[in-house]
Structure 1
Amino acid sequence: MTMTSAMPASAYTVLDSGAYHASLLTRGPWHPAHQHAGPPIALVCRAIEHAAAAHGLTHIARLTANLLRPVPIGEVAVEVATDYAGRNAGHFSARLLAGGKEVARFTALAQRENDLQLPDGLPGHPLPLAPMGPEASQAATFPFASKHVGYSDLVETRVAHGRFFNGPCAIWFRLRHPLLGSEAPSVYQRVAVAADSGNGISAILDLKSYSFVNSDLTINLLRRPQGEWICLDARTYLGPNGGGLAESKLYDIHGLIGRATQSLCVSQRS
């Protein structure tokens, strides 16, 4: 499929079986047959949100994805379990399945939301803002964008600070297409789609010469995000033993919402 072909309407569609079919909008930069991890993490986040809401727990405070195998572009299924649900917090786990195999495993913490009046003058408050707002930031495209439909077509990106794939930078993300069918994605799903890109936007190695794939993602959110735009202010740190860490401060237009971290497996391409 090329850019002259019809663009898929959404990242996923629901199948009669209750499973989901991934469109080419989910394609990532590492392999043409594999999804970028952001969309499937967001799809699982959606299922966890629904399970948590049944207990009155509406804030996803933490979401951890353990990426066991590449997620193929095709049919995937999601299974969610409630490990514990109390009055104010609940723990949930989930599995993402493809081709009869478990390709990712998840845990999440959901909390009950309550209005709370904080005292004035707290250190670090009011919460800091992103380096620049989305309206003032310049539109930009992922360096791996090509004639093939993929993740770079699913999201709109704007640069608030730095440059793509050139060290520390801050990038605003907004979904161009729905995650699932015509359903409006939640703010948590918007964060999940974007947060897995921290290691890419802040890359300090040449993508053509090195692989620096993340095997996990942890998102911690101190409050409910607001609006369509999510900013990642990301940086990459590399160790001498093939390991690394990508760390992103997460913002909406009102300020800091949390952080995301990714453990990297770094290797030189042959």
Structure 2
Amino acid sequence: MADNPQKPAFDGDMAAYTALGGAVYRASALTRGPWHPQQQHAGPPIALVSHALEAAAQAHGLHHLARLTANLLRPVPIADIEVRVQEDYVGRNAGHFSAVALADGKELIRATALFQREDEVGLPDGLPGHPLPLAPKQPDVSPVQRFPFAHHEWGYPDLVETRTAQGRMFDGPSAVWFRMSHPLVMGQTPSAYQRVAVAADSGNGISAILDLSTHVFVNSDLTINLLRKPVGEWVCLDARTHLSSHGGGLAESALYDELGLIGRATQSLFVRRRYSA
């Protein structure tokens, strides 16, 4: 990827994180989000937590991440992040795990995950809602649209390639395809679940119905439910935002790969007007 002439040169290979050993990862500028120049977009650190949880579950032969819930306790700085994983309960067909992400000893993200054992199950023909629906458009016929922030600094818009399948990003309900342009962890290929996590936290942004310059609509959590393992590099969010007049909201996204529906993601929103100093 060629450098944007308006941006500073990026030193070395590009990945969201570099593993430092001891479950510690150094965040790069590719994780930068829209709310503060020294804070990460929540998608990459949630994907980093998924990376650690997947490793713990695979040790038990559990390969399908059916649910991931991340509670965002504090803004995640662009800094060294430690991820600790705990095995809560592992049974014959499912396992429950939890994780925490920290920086300088402060807890930033607390997550829980459900993993399931995979097995082939034949389904009868004619089930309601089957075959599973497809995204509004496939990525090869969806026009490129970049995130409208961080034009002069490296950030999340450089970590992902985005194409609009329906609507327009940051202008109401929209469906957007995401593909990672760089690895999550240096030297490693991101898993299908990590690709979903990087994208799924953007539902409230791509379906925004408030102006980013006048309002804050930050999510305090993210829950991803997946009915099957995604395939391929592309993940589509068909997202909607719903707001109350009391400072709360909900963003919900139907999730797709190129073969069809894979699950849903929801985010609880904290909504406030921006005030100038």
Task: Answer yes or no: same fold by TM over 0.5.
Answer: yes
Match of 2:120 among 107, 115, 120: 115
Identity of aligned residues (%): 67
Deviations 1:12-49 (A, max 9, x none): 00114431100000000000000000000000001100
Query: Which residue pairs with 1:77 in the alignment?
Result: 82
Match of 1:222 among 227, 231, 237: 227
Query: Which residue pairs with 1:96 in the alignment?
Result: 101
Query: Which residue pairs with 2:69 in the alignment?
Result: 64
Query: Which residue pairs with 1:260 in the alignment?
Result: 265
Equivalent runs, 1:33-52 vs 2, <5 Å: 33-52=38-57
Equivalent runs, 1:15-54 vs 2, <5 Å: 15-54=20-59
Q: 1:152 corresponds to which letter in structure 2?
A: P
- Count of equivalent residues: 270
Any idea what SS the aligned residue of 1:97 has?
Answer: strand
Deviations 1:157-216 (A, max 9, x none): 000000011100000000000000020000000000000000000000000000000000
Query: Which residue pairs with 1:6 in the alignment?
Result: 10
| Native 8 Å contact 2:256 2:263 kept in 1 | yes
CA RMSD of aligned residues (A): 1.1
Any idea what SS the aligned residue of 1:140 has?
Answer: coil
Match of 1:190 among 192, 195, 206: 195
Query: Which residue pairs with 1:134 in the alignment?
Result: 139
Q: 1:59 corresponds to which letter in structure 2?
A: H
Match of 1:202 among 199, 204, 207: 207
In the TM superposition, what is the alpha-carbon distance from 1:4 to its structure 2 partner? 3.9
* Distance in 2, Cα, partners of 1:227 & 1:130: 14
Deviations 1:246-266 (A, max 9, x none): 000000000000000000000
Any idea what SS the aligned residue of 1:245 has?
Answer: strand
Q: Which runs of 5+ in 1 are unaligned?
A: none
Any idea what SS the aligned residue of 2:144 has?
Answer: strand
Any idea what SS the aligned residue of 1:237 has?
Answer: strand
TM value normalised by structure 1: 0.98
Over 6 Å off, 4+ runs: none
Any idea what SS the aligned residue of 2:140 has?
Answer: coil
| Native 8 Å contact 2:8 2:153 kept in 1 | no
* Distance in 1, Cα, partners of 2:29 & 2:96: 32
Q: Which runs of 5+ in 2 are unaligned?
A: none
